[in-house]
Structure 1
Amino acid sequence: MVIGITRSQRWVLALVCAVAVSTIYAIQPVLEAAGTSLGWPPESLGGLVAAGQIGYFAGLVLLVPLADMMNRRRLITVHLVLTATGAAVAAVAPNGAVAVIGLAVAGLFAVVVQVTVAYVAAHSTPEERGRNIGAVTSGVVLGILGVRIVAGVLGDTVGWRAVYAVLAALCLALALTVHRILPLDNRIRGPRYTQVLASMGRLARTDRLFLNRGLIAFFVFASFGTLWSGLALPLGAEPWNFGATQIGLFGLAGLAGALGAARAGRWADAGRAQAITGFALALLVGSWLLIARTESTLWLLLAGIVLLDFAVQAVHVSSQHLLTEAHQQRAGTVIGAYMAFYSLGSAVGALTTTWAYGTWGWAASCWVGAAYALSALALWGVDAAHSSRTLVDNCGAETDGYPQLSRTCQE
C-alpha cells in the first residue's frame, strides 16, 4: 500500500466530504420553498429533513463496514456516483414522495465521508495522520455550514431544485477526480460482512475508548444540533426578522471557528489529543453564555458561534485520531460506529431545541445546549481520571485502546 497523502489529494478528499454531507443538510434553508413546490403542507415538511438523516444513519450501520472489506478508492467513487443519483432524483422530483426517496438515497451514500476518513487514516504516515484527518474532516463542517449559505442564495434566486442539481454535478465531477488521482487501496481481503457488523456491537460493550468517545460525540453534536437547528427561530423573530439568506450567512461565523480547529490534528499528532479535548469542551460550555445573548446585539452571538464550532471540530478531530490510531486495521468499522453516535446526537439536538424554544424561548434552548456540553465535559473528566490512574497504578497493563497512553508508558 502506498503510504502518504499529497496536498492535492488532501484537498480533493476534503471536497468529497464537504459535497457529500451537503446533500443531507441542503434542504434545511430551502425547506419552505421545496414544500410549496412539492405540494406538501407545513406540518409534513419534517419528512423532507428526516429522509436524508435516516438514510445517513442506515448507511453508517450497513455501508461503512464495507470500507474494511473492499478497495476504498473504488468504494468512494461508487458512493459518489450513487449520491449524485439521489441528489438528481430530488432535483427533478414531481412530488414529495419521489423527493423523499431521492433525499434518502443521497443520505444513504453520503457515508462516503466515513469511507474517505478511513482511506486517509490508512494511507497517512503516523506523523501526519492527525493532520490529514483534521484537514479532511474540516470538509464535513464546511459542507454542513457552507451549504446553508449557498443553498439560501440559490434558493432565493434560481430555485430550490438548482441546489440539488449543482450537488449532483459536483458529486459526479469528484467521482471522476478521485478515480484519477488516488492510488489503489489494494489490501488483503478483510473479514466477512456479518463479522464486521457483529464487531460494531462488541465495540460498544468491550472498548472503553470507543464508548467514551462515542458518548462524547453524542453530546457534542447534540449541542451542535441545538444551535444550528434552532438558530433560525430567534433570528427570524422580533427584533431581527431575518430572511433565509441572511440567516444562512451566520454559517460564515461557524466556518471560521471550524476551520480554525484544523490544527487540532497536529496537536493530536503531538500526543495532546486528551488535553485538547478537555480544553475544547470547556470552550463549548462557555460558548453558550454568549450564544444566549441575542436580545440587543449580535456580536456576542457571533463570537459564541465561532467558539462553539471551533470546539466541536477540535473534539471531533481528536476523537477520530485516537480511534483510528487504536484500530488501524478496522478504521472504517470504528469510524462508522462512532459516527452513528454523531448522527443520533444531531437528531436529538434538533428535536429538543425546537421543543425548548416553543415552550420557553431561546434561553431554554441555550440551557439545553449547555447541558449537553457539560455532559460531554463530565465524560471526558471521568475518562481522563481513569487514564491517569491506569498510568500511575498499572502502567501498560490496561492501556489497550489508548495508544498514546501506551506510548507514554513505554517512554
Structure 2
Amino acid sequence: MAAEQQGRTMPVQAEAGPGRLSRPLMILVATAVGAAVANRFYIEPLLSLVAHSFNVSTTAAGLLVTSANVGYVIGLILLVPLGDLLERRRLITTMLVAAGVVAAGCAVAPGLPVLALALAGLALLSVSAQILIPLAATLAAPEQRGQVVGVVTSGLLIGTLAARTVSGFAAGLAGFRLIFAVAAVAMIVLAVLLRRMLPLVPSTHQQGYGALLKSVVTLVTAEPELRRRMTLAFLQFAGFTVLWTPMAFLLSGPPYNYGATIIGLFGLFGVAGAMAAPAAGRLGDRGHSGLTVTISLAVMLLSWGALALGRSTLIALIVGIVLLDAGFQGAHINHQRTVFALRPEARSRINTAYMFAFFLGGVAGSTLAAVVYNASGWPGICVLGASLAILALLVWSVWKPRRSAVTAQEGVANP
C-alpha cells in the first residue's frame, strides 16, 4: 500500500523536483526511443532481398512499407493517448515486450502476408517511443525540460536515420531476417532495464478510453499554439523527407555512382545534425525558445542552397544534410517543449496530435518528392524543399497565438 501511495504522488514530485530523470536514465530512455522507432524503418532497405526470398515482385514487397506506415498511424491514434490513462512504466515495458515477440515473428515469417502483418504490428508497437518522450518531459525538472526533450528526441532521429544503415549491414551478413532477431532481443533487454529504472508514473486522466480519444480533438480545438506547432511540424517533416526520399537516386547516379552500402552511410551525416538537439533544448530552457526556432528554420532554408550544389559536389551535399537535420531538430525540440507545457496532465494526448501532424507531413513530403524528382530531378527537389522552408518561416512569423497562462507559468518564451 505504501508503494502504491508513493506511486500516486509521483507526478507531483516529478513535475516539481529536479533529479527524477538521472543522466543514466535519460540515456536509457533515449536509447529505447531510438531502438523502438528504428523497428519501423528496418524493412526499407531490405525490400529487394525480401522479394527474392519470397519470390514476389518488388512492387508486392513494397507493400511492406505501407503495412508499417498503417500500423504506425493506428498506434499513434489508439495507443499513444494511453500514456495519460494507464501507469506508464507498465504500459511502456509491456509494449516493448510485445514488440520483441512481434519482431521475432518478423524474423521467422514464412511468407509475405505474415511478414506484412507482423511489420504492421511491430510499427504499431514502436509508438512506445512517443509515450517515452512526454514521460521524459514529465520526469524532468522544468528548468531542464528542453535539454531532456532534446537528448531523448535525438535518440528518435538517430534511430530513424541509423536504422537503414544497420539493417543493410545486418542483411549483408545473414539476410533480411537477422536484423529482426536482433531487434527482438533489444526490445526485451530494454523492457527489463526500463522496468528496473523507471519510477511509477500513474495516470493523469480518470475518464474512460473513449473519452480519452475524444479529448485529443478537444485539445487541438482548444489550444491554438498546439495547432500552430502541428502545422510547423507538418511542414518541417515534409521538408525532411523531401531530402531523404530521392537521396538514393542522386547518389546511385552520376557523378557519384555509389553502391547501396555507401548510400546507407549517408544517414550518419544526418545523425551529426541530430546532435544539435540538446543545445537547442538548453536554449529553450534559458528563455530563447522563439529565437531558437527562428534560427533553426532559417538554417533549414539555407541548407537547400548547399544541397543544390550537392548535385555535383560531395562536400556541399554533406554540409547541406548536416544543416537541414540540425535546423529540423532544433525547431522540433522547441515545438515539443512548448506543446508539452500547454497541458502537463495531457502530454501523451498532445504528443498524439503533434506527431500525427508530423507523420502526415512525412507522407506528403515523400509523395511530393517522388513526383517532383521524376519531373524535375534534383534541382526540382531543392526548389520544393526551399519552398517548404519558406512556408514554415512565414507560418512562424505571421501566426502569433496569444500565450496562455499555463504556458507562461511553465516558462515557455513568447515567440
| TM-score category (smaller protein) | over 0.9
Report the equivalent of 2:43: 27
- Is 1:300 the equivalent of 2:305? no
On the 8 A contact 2:205/2:345 being kept in 1, the answer is: no
1:360-399 equivalences under 5 Å are 360-383=376-399, 386=400, 399=404
Structure-2 separation of matches of 1:18 and 1:330: 23
Report the equivalent of 1:139: 155
Residues 295 and 368 of structure 1: is their aligned pair in 2 closer, same or farther, counting only changes over 3 Å? closer
Residues 404 and 270 of structure 1: is their aligned pair in 2 closer, same or farther, counting only changes over 3 Å? farther
Residues 352 and 44 of structure 1: is their aligned pair in 2 closer, same or farther, counting only changes over 3 Å? farther
On the 8 A contact 2:142/2:410 being kept in 1, the answer is: no
- Is 1:215 the equivalent of 2:228? no
Instruction: Provide Cα deviations, 1:88-145, integer angstroms capped at 9, x if missing partner.
Output: 2222111111111111001111110111012112211111111111111110011011
Give 1:72 shift.
0.6
On the 8 A contact 1:21/1:113 being kept in 2, the answer is: yes
Give 1:407 shift.
7.3
Match of 1:403, as an amino acid?
A
Structural RMSD (CA): 1.8
Match of 2:118 among 76, 97, 102: 102
Instruction: Provide Cα deviations, 1:322-351, integer angstroms capped at 9, x if missing partner.
Output: 011111010000011100011111111111
SS at match of 1:40: coil
SS at match of 1:271: helix
1:237-276 equivalences under 5 Å are 237-276=253-292
Match of 1:345, as an amino acid?
G
Structure-2 separation of matches of 1:81 and 1:51: 21
Report the equivalent of 2:5: none
Give 1:357 shift.
1.1
- What is the total number of aligned residue pairs between the two structures? 398
On the 8 A contact 2:274/2:329 being kept in 1, the answer is: yes
Match of 1:399, as an amino acid?
S
SS at match of 1:376: helix
Give 1:39 shift.
2.4
1:123-202 equivalences under 5 Å are 123-187=139-203, 190-202=206-218
Deviant stretches of 4+, over 6 Å: 404-409
Instruction: Provide Cα deviations, 1:119-175, integer angstroms capped at 9, x if missing partner.
Output: 112211111111111111110011011112211211222211111111111011100
Structure-2 separation of matches of 1:65 and 1:10: 22
- Is 1:357 the equivalent of 2:362? no
On the 8 A contact 1:326/1:403 being kept in 2, the answer is: no
Q: TM-score, normalised on structure 1?
A: 0.93
SS at match of 1:292: helix
Percent of paired sites with the same residue? 35
1:301-316 equivalences under 5 Å are 301-316=317-332
Residues 401 and 29 of structure 1: is their aligned pair in 2 closer, same or farther, counting only changes over 3 Å? farther
SS at match of 2:92: helix
Q: TM-score, normalised on structure 2?
A: 0.92
Q: Structure 1: which 5+ runs fail to align?
A: 391-397
Structure-1 separation of matches of 2:259 and 2:115: 24
On the 8 A contact 1:71/1:187 being kept in 2, the answer is: yes
- Is 1:328 the equivalent of 2:344? yes
Structure-1 separation of matches of 2:123 and 2:389: 27
Report the equivalent of 1:403: 408
Match of 1:257, as an amino acid?
G
Report the equivalent of 1:118: 134
